[in-house]
């Protein structure tokens, strides 16, 4: 069984959650995989002292994605420190820097590809310790190079410096958004999600109640569904990122063209929307939705006379477009 932990390494609950997961899955056949989440995507490239950063209300708002609803971010930090001590981290706990976690997520994702979940866990543990206990800047290459070497991931430094993992992490962030991850950490097992750093007993029960893992969908189907989910979440540009491989390999597929047309229209890329929808209407003349969306695209381009036949036909085929 695979467990995915969607978390940001600058969220203290992620580190506490890691310890609780380790206790919860002891004796179980569970592969734990780390996935990226960003609670503070606007963190500067060059880290700044944490206490200075949290004086900014915008930073406090960002940290709410790592804060239980009933607490303020300040109260949350106090509570995390107390619980961290109870979990065995000691009293030397707390971030010293407001640091971008993007490169740390790259290193963690690359470790999974290079050496599996064991190597990834070793890297994730060292990243979290560096940030919360050692007071290091985990956005700095020197820190990440040292972490890679200590974890037995010697090639990690060169991969990082070469830009590897950047597109992978950006796509994984979109996948997390598409499946509904909204807080750090969120545990996902077999399509079910458990938000927050719950107790080991709760996590173990969550794992055990799942039964057999559901049959995994083909990658193309899963990618298309996630793109649709991002459209529903009003992220058409994210949807297009996930769609790109499908457009390259399955550019004539009706479902792919429909989602692409929606995404181009929603992101105001009207020329591309028109091209895709005209191809779709030519291939499937009785597709009422495609005709309606093509008519609306032409309207927004100021081509009302060209739009009218498509809108009338869509209305005749389906009253909902009347």
CA gyration radius, the chain? 23
CA distances from 119 to 20, 109, 113 (A): 19, 10, 9
Instruction: State residue 191's pLDDT score.
Output: 87
State the average pLDDT for the chain.
92
| φ, ψ for residue 245, nearest 5 deg | -60, -35
The Cα 307–Cα 188 span in angstroms is 45
Instruction: State residue 111's pLDDT score.
Output: 98
Peptide bond connecting 210 to the previous residue in cis, omega within 30 degrees of 0: no
247, 256 in Cβ contact below 8 A? yes
297, 274 in Cβ contact below 8 A? yes
In a structure prediction context, what are the per-residue pLDDT tens digits for the chain, which is 322 residues long? Answer: 899 999 999 999 999 999 999 999 999 999 999 999 999 888 888 999 988 887 777 777 777 777 777 777 778 888 888 998 888 888 788 889 999 999 999 999 999 999 999 999 999 999 999 999 999 999 999 999 999 999 999 999 999 999 999 999 999 999 999 999 999 999 999 889 999 999 999 999 999 987 666 677 789 999 999 999 999 999 999 999 999 999 999 988 999 999 999 999 999 999 999 999 999 999 999 999 999 999 999 999 999 999 999 999 999 998 888 7
* Order of all β-strands in the sheet with 31-36: 31-36, 2-7, 186-189, 192-195
Instruction: State residue 76's pLDDT score.
Output: 80
Domains along the sequence of the chain with CATH: 2-208 (3.40.30.10), 219-321 (1.25.40.10)
Instruction: State residue 52's pLDDT score.
Output: 82
Instruction: State residue 120's pLDDT score.
Output: 98
| φ, ψ for residue 43, nearest 5 deg | -55, 140
Token pair for 201: 């007993």
Instruction: State residue 61's pLDDT score.
Output: 72
Instruction: State residue 45's pLDDT score.
Output: 86
The Cα 35–Cα 6 span in angstroms is 5
pLDDT in tens, 208-244: 987 666 677 789 999 999 999 999 999 999 999 999 9
Instruction: State residue 212's pLDDT score.
Output: 64
The Cα 260–Cα 45 span in angstroms is 33
Instruction: State residue 77's pLDDT score.
Output: 82
Instruction: State residue 64's pLDDT score.
Output: 74
The Cα 284–Cα 290 span in angstroms is 9
Question: By C-alpha distance, which of 266, 317, 263 is closest to 292?
Answer: 317
Question: By C-alpha distance, which of 95, 91, 69 is closest to 14?
Answer: 95
Pairing of strands 97-98, 186-189: unpaired
Peptide bond connecting 185 to the previous residue in cis, omega within 30 degrees of 0: yes
| φ, ψ for residue 35, nearest 5 deg | -125, 150
Question: By C-alpha distance, which of 212, 214, 216, 194 is closest to 21?
Answer: 194
Instruction: State residue 176's pLDDT score.
Output: 97
Instruction: State residue 227's pLDDT score.
Output: 97
| φ, ψ for residue 251, nearest 5 deg | -70, -10
Helices 102-132 and 12-24 pack at an angle, to 10 degrees, of 80
Question: By C-alpha distance, which of 112, 110, 98 is closest to 42?
Answer: 98
């Amino acid at each position: 069984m695979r467990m995915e932990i969607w978390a940001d390494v600058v969220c203290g609950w992620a580190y506490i959650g890691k310890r609780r997961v380790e206790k919860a899955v002891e004796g179980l056949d569970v592969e734990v995989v780390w996935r990226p989440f960003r609670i503070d995507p606007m963190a500067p490239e060059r880290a700044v002292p944490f206490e200075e950063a949290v004086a900014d209300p915008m930073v406090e708002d960002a940290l709410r994605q790592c804060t239980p609803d009933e607490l303020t971010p300040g109260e949350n930090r106090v509570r995390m420190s107390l619980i961290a001590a109870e979990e065995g981290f000691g009293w030397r706990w707390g971030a010293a820097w407001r640091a971008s976690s993007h490169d740390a997520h790259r290193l963690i994702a690359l470790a999974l590809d290079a050496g599996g979940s064991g190597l990834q866990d070793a890297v994730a543990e060292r990243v979290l310790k560096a940030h919360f206990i050692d007071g290091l800047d985990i956005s700095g290459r020197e820190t990440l190079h040292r972490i890679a070497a200590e974890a037995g991931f010697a090639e990690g430094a060169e991969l990082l410096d070469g830009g590897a993992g950047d597109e992978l992490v950006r796509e994984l962030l979109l996948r997390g958004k598409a499946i509904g991850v909204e807080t750090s950490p969120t545990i996902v097992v077999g399509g079910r999600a458990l938000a927050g750093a719950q107790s080991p007993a709760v996590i173990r029960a969550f794992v055990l109640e799942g039964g057999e893992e559901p049959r995994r969908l083909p990658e193309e189907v899963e990618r298309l569904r996630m793109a649709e989910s991002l459209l529903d979440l009003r992220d058409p540009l994210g949807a297009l990122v996930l769609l790109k491989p499908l457009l390259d390999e399955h550019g004539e597929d009706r479902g792919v063209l429909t989602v692409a047309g929606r995404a181009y229209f929603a992101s105001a890329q009207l020329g591309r929307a028109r091209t895709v929808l005209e191809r779709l209407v030519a291939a499937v003349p009785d597709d009422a939705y495609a005709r309606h969306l093509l008519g609306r695209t032409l309207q927004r381009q100021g081509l009302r006379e060209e739009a009218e036949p498509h809108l009338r036909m869509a209305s005749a085929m389906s009253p909902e477009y009347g």
